[in-house]
Structure 1
Amino acid sequence: MDDIISRLSEIEDSSQSYIDDATLRKKEIAAEINARKELWKQDLDAKTKARIAELQESMNISKEKKILELKQQSETAFKNLQDMYDTNHDKYVDMLFSNMIKE
């Protein structure tokens, strides 16, 4: 009987050793996963920041281009109005004067 109890005790000690090893390995794996997760997160953050910077630069270039186009359109429209005024201002004055004295 003592032999059986001794053998059961050895089995229990052995199984406890396996459980302790498994627990230790589980902690090591969890630490490795957390380290990989942190590296992945840092890499993702860096890539995201780089992509955001690219998009901002692209938007700034696009915005500056659009502003330049609008400025050129405004200058062209102003020049056209100025040319029309310079060409027809005597005619406009005569029409205005005629309308004023008719009434």
Structure 2
Amino acid sequence: MSGDRYKIQDQQGCYFNTMTVVHWIDVFSRREYRDIIVESLNYCIGNKGLKLYAWVIMSNHVHIVGQIENELGMSGFLRDFKKHTSKRILEAIEEIPESRRE
């Protein structure tokens, strides 16, 4: 099955993950939105058992290398992380007016 290709077998294993913005929109060109990712990663390190080995935020995607050292597992972490950060970024986009000067 092609769906099994991306299924995480070892939930506590170390993985390279890429999370992309829908339609590859350059959301992370603004510092406010990058800060949401950084704050969320720091929260997960302190509270969700994330062991982060490397990460980079590009203009329209995020790469992380890490593992989860508890029962949440990598699938649970990715689900929660993407849900939380996408909600916060959408709220920030609505609250912060867009400036063409940036």
User: Is the TM-score greater than 0.5?
Assistant: no
TM range (shorter): under 0.3
Who wins on radius of gyration, i.e. which is larger?
A: 1
TM-score (normalised: structure 1): 0.25
Q: Tell me: higher relative CO, structure 1 or 2? Use CA pairs within 8 A at least 6 residues apart.
A: 2
Choose between structure 1 and 2: higher strand proportion: 2
